[in-house]
Amino acid sequence: MEQRRLGTRGFEVSALGLGCMGLSHGYGPPVPKAQGIALIRAAVERGVTLFDTAEVYGPFTNEELLAEALAAVRDQMFIATKFGFQIDSDSADLRRLNSRPEHIREVVDASLRRLRTDHIDLLYQHRVDPDVPIEDVAGTVKDLIGAGKVRHFGLSEAGPESIRRAHAVQPVTALQSEYSLWWREPEREILPLCAELGIGFVPFSPLGRGFLTGAIDARTQFSSNDFRTRVPRFSPEARQANQALVERIGAIASRKGVTRAQIALAWVLAQQPWIVPIPGTTRLERLEENLAAAEVTLTREDIKSIDQMLAETPVQGARYPQQLQQLAGR
């Protein structure tokens, strides 16, 4: 698979990484352990080298799953994990942030144990904590880098001011935020800022939490613990309205002889050479489909056609429920 460099100070990884959250958290019941391990190892066999996890996924169990799956090849892989939420009694309240320096250090030590490794390749602040100066966060990670526990510093869903302030203390290697055919907000300020500062960009949900693949419609039933049941963009009414976008993506995919998912991923990859999307899946056939997107070439005319289609097909519904939207872009 093509290799890409995450930022000017970063490291080379596969053009597509694997977002591991859905194996343990967020989209219904966790997959059986053996299935999760098999999927991660299949990704390794197919050239994936960047794997994304977080202590809050599970919580804790996703890091443990990834550790077991990568045990034999750990030194050839790049593991990204995150801190920033308060987790009590094996449950996480995603409204409670905690990026106090002492908490960051505790989380890193615990993640290292769960990941069965002596270093974290890329450590993200999961969400900016308004109660802790970002300079203190960056300084703490800088110390952890100096101690050899962390290799690179990242931010997730941070706003431009926080990125600049953090970067002045400890260079930010990568920014992780949502970006896809149906969420292009990063193009306004974030992507230009990444280009200016030499920061790599890691889009999560590049397939629109599954919607852009065409596998979801207004009749789809989600399990009660599926995050999408709380997302306005996934209300039945919004799904019905947004079906027009999926149909138009399908028409473009048919002309190219590929799938909707491959068009969606190829479009993200085509935006900049320092963008590394991390689509997630629980199924081998979807993994193979997603990875094949790295071989799809979009011409200038293809990009122009897609941009026109997006301009003519506005997306309905907010991407987060209100309480979570307040945590993004700080």
Indicate if the alpha-carbon torsion angle 241, 246, 251, 252 is positive or negative: positive
Q: How confident is the model at residue 226 (pLDDT cuts 50, 70, 90)?
A: very high
What's the mean pLDDT in 167-179?
Answer: 98
Q: Tell me the Cα Rg of the chain.
A: 19
Identity at 235, one-letter amino acid code: S
Residues belonging to the chain: 330
Please write the tens of the pLDDT for every residue from 2-50: 999 998 887 899 999 999 999 999 999 999 999 999 999 999 999 999 9
Tokens of 91: 């449950």
CA-to-CA dists, residue 203 to 16, 33, 131, 272, angstroms: 10, 26, 26, 12
> Is residue 145 assigned to a domain?
yes
d(CA 211, CA 3): 27
- Tell me the CB-side half-sphere exposure of residue 231, using CA atoms within 13 A: 17
pLDDT of residue 326: 87
> Is residue 28 assigned to a domain?
yes
Q: Which residues are catalytic?
A: 57
Q: Which of 18, 47, 39, 20 is nearest to 114 (CA)?
A: 20
Task: Render 38-83 in DSSP notation, one character per residue.
Answer: HHHHHHHHTT--EEE--TTTTTTHHHHHHHHHHGGGGGGSEEEEEE
> Is residue 224 assigned to a domain?
yes
For the chain, the straight-line distance linking the first and the last C-alpha, in angstroms and rounded, comes to 35
Identity at 237, one-letter amino acid code: E
pLDDT at 192 over 80: yes
d(CA 82, CA 154): 9
Q: What are phi and psi of 18, to 5 degrees?
A: -120, 120
> Is residue 330 assigned to a domain?
no
> Is residue 217 assigned to a domain?
yes
What's the mean pLDDT in 174-194?
Answer: 98
Q: How confident is the model at residue 219 (pLDDT cuts 50, 70, 90)?
A: very high
Please write the tens of the pLDDT for every residue from 254-284: 999 999 999 999 999 999 999 999 999 999 9
Residues 6+ apart with CB under 8 A from 94: 56, 85, 324, 327
> Is residue 216 assigned to a domain?
yes
pLDDT at 88 over 90: no
Q: Where are the beta strands (DSSP E) in the chain?
A: 3-5, 12-14, 18-19, 50-52, 78-83, 85-88, 91-97, 120-125, 150-156, 172-178, 200-204
> Is residue 309 assigned to a domain?
yes
Domain count, the chain: 1
DSSP state of 241: H
> Is residue 85 assigned to a domain?
yes
Q: What is the CATH number of the domain that holds 267?
A: 3.20.20.100
Question: What is the domain extent for residue 133?
Answer: 3-325
pLDDT of residue 238: 97
pLDDT of residue 9: 80
Mean per-residue pLDDT over the chain, rounded: 96
